[in-house]
């Protein structure tokens, strides 16, 4: 009995240590109001994105839920309007796994919305599969889709400056790599579709998010548009919905025990979105509402520039006229 009790105490102690020292994060302390501002949040029908959209709506922003699934997004928009008391919450269809859809979204948005003050690149996937354009799912959605979307909306962001681009990355970027030979051969940064390669592909895409933000900041210097990447914490969301069922069954119990809920997980996104005074840190990375250094690969300016040019080519953007 004493052995069993000791085991229970040890497990409980481990939980407390992990939860309070690794998992929990700080909260956004800004009291900024966003009346008259417009925000786009990708992947906002669930998880961190929905929590972010709700917080923005509560502060008075007009919020565009940029999502793939119409029914889920319209239900989420209804929830956000009801809970926030803000009727300026709308859905616009966006499938980041389709470059055509990204272009159609941008065209519709620019035709119907006069402002863009905040672009929150939140959506993310982990799992096997290919995008409509044949790219690996994680690379195509998490990086390329957001890369094209941001570029297509930049003029509107500049016109509404001071404005911000916030891209949700992850601590797993430390394990990421960018292999351009693989990209040329497989239209992906991994060479297979196994469960392990799905995890590697996710890490690689999160490194791309870091590098994209770094190079974007360099290109936007002096425009009044600042950009930030962030690690939201270890959050229980639908991120792994594309993974194999057996792998989800292994992850879900641990996620429910140790991971943050989406509302807490949205705090660093909100900090990057409207915390006053962080503009000089454009291009940098945050976690737990504080500045965090990224891995060595994430600070490689040459790699960031090379990825930028490759991404222009892959998305069909003219290299000489992107900015």
Separation of alpha carbons 163 and 113, rounded Å:
15
Separation of alpha carbons 39 and 92, rounded Å:
12
Distance between start and end Cα atoms, the chain: 69
C-beta atoms surrounding 155 within 10 Å: 12
Query: What is each CA distance from 4 to 14, 17, 177, 265, in whole angstroms?
Result: 15, 20, 44, 34
Active site residue 202: yes
DSSP class per residue in 1-16: -HHHHHHHHHHHHHHH
Phi-psi region of 157 (alpha: psi -120 to 50; beta: other; left: phi over 0): alpha
**What are residue 298's DSSP bridge partners?**
none
Give the tokens for residue 171.
């601590």
φ/ψ (deg, to 5) at 98: -135, 115
Separation of alpha carbons 60 and 318, rounded Å:
37
Q: Is the dihedral of CA 55, 57, 63, 69 positive or negative?
A: positive
Catalytic residue among 15, 19, 20, 202: 202
Separation of alpha carbons 201 and 310, rounded Å:
17
**138 near 126, Cβ under 8 Å?**
yes
**40 near 154, Cβ under 8 Å?**
no
**What are residue 213's DSSP bridge partners?**
none
User: Which 8-state DSSP code applies to residue 234?
Assistant: S
Task: Write down how long the chain is.
Answer: 323
**What are residue 91's DSSP bridge partners?**
65
Query: Which positions are annotated as active-site residues?
Result: 202
């Amino acid at each position: 009995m004493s052995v069993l009790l000791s085991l229970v105490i040890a497990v409980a102690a481990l939980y407390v240590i992990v939860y309070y020292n690794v998992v929990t994060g700080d909260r956004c302390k800004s009291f900024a109001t966003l009346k008259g501002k417009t925000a786009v949040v990708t992947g906002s029908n669930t998880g961190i994105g929905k929590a972010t959209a709700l917080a923005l709506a509560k502060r008075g922003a007009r919020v565009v839920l940029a999502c793939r699934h119409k029914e889920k997004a319209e239900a989420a928009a209804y929830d956000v309007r009801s809970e926030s008391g803000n009727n300026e919450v709308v859905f616009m269809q966006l499938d980041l796994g389709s470059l055509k859809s990204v272009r159609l979204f941008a065209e519709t948005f620019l035709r119907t919305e006069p402002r863009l003050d905040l672009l929150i690149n939140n959506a993310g996937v982990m799992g096997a599969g290919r995008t409509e354009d044949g790219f690996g799912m994680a690379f195509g959605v998490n990086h390329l889709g957001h890369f094209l979307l941001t570029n297509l909306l930049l003029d509107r962001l500049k016109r509404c400056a001071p404005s911000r681009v916030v891209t949700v990355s992850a601590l797993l970027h430390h394990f990421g790599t960018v292999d351009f030979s693989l990209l040329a051969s497989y239209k992906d940064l991994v060479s297979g579709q196994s469960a392990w390669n799905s995890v590697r592909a996710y890490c690689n895409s999160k490194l791309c998010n870091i590098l994209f933000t770094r190079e974007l900041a360099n290109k936007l210097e002096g425009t009044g548009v600042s950009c930030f990447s962030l690690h939201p914490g270890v959050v229980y969301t639908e991120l792994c919905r594309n993974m194999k069922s057996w792998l989800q069954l292994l992850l879900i119990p641990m996620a429910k025990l140790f991971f943050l809920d989406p509302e807490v997980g949205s705090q660093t996104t909100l900090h990057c979105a409207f915390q006053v005074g962080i503009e000089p840190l454009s291009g940098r990375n945050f976690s737990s509402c504080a500045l965090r250094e990224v891995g060595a690969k994430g600070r490689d300016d040459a790699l960031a520039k090379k990825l930028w040019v490759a991404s222009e080519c892959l998305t069909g953007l003219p290299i000489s006229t992107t900015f």
